[in-house]
């Protein structure tokens, strides 16, 4: 059964308000990262709102939580990284949170609540975007339990929707 969705451009005031919220949440200026004026579309699905910026699916809103997609390469390059062992990958790609025993190392500094890119330790490929629960110094000392809340991962409904409808730019 095909996914139902609607797609439309946001009005200027709506786009500006969203960009302000996103800039505060992501702690970056999107126009500076993208180095261009932003054209913003909204794709509403049954499970999320996907924001298309300059023809690329870069942001997602699920309930009240807004976060970057794995297709947002410019932002991903700025994110701190959490490297996980290969044994953790099937769990992460099924939606599991990132647990301390599966983490090999951290790269970059972060505070609790920041987004991080979850990367496989062997090939360095991004597999998820998560919200870290500790600051960088505390996270390194954690030996058990959840360290990163998984919000978007390879193979989730967002990933598959983007891939299926070819709104992802390469």
CA angle 21, 39, 45 (to 5 degrees): 70
Tell me the per-residue pLDDT of 120-149, one tens digit each, with 9 for 90 and over. Answer: 999 999 999 999 999 999 999 999 999 999
CATH of domain 75-153: 2.30.130.10
The domain limits of the chain are 5-74, 75-153
pLDDT > 50? residue 167: no
Q: What is the mean pLDDT of residues 50-76?
A: 94
- CATH 3.10.450.120 is right for the domain spanning 5-74: yes
pLDDT > 60? residue 13: yes
pLDDT of residue 32: 87
Q: Exposure of 103 by Cβ count < 10 A (0-12 exposed, 13-18 middle, 19+ buried)?
A: buried
pLDDT > 90? residue 30: no
């Amino acid at each position: 059964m095909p996914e139902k969705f609607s797609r439309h451009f946001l009005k200027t005031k709506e786009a500006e308000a969203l960009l302000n919220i996103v800039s505060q949440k992501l702690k970056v200026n999107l126009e500076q990262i993208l180095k261009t004026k932003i054209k913003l579309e909204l794709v509403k699905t049954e499970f999320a709102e996907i924001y298309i910026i300059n023809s690329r699916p870069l942001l997602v809103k699920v309930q009240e939580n807004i976060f970057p997609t794995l297709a947002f390469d410019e932002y991903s390059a700025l994110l701190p990284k959490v490297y996980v062992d290969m044994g953790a990958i099937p769990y992460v790609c099924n939606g599991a949170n990132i647990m301390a025993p599966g983490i090999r190392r951290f790269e970059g500094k972060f505070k609790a609540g920041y987004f991080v890119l979850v990367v496989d330790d062997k090939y360095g490929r991004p597999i998820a975007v998560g919200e870290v629960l500790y600051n960088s110094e505390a996270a390194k000392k954690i030996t058990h339990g959840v360290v990163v809340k998984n919000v978007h991962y390879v193979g989730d409904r967002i990933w598959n929707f983007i891939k299926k409808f070819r709104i992802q730019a390469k």
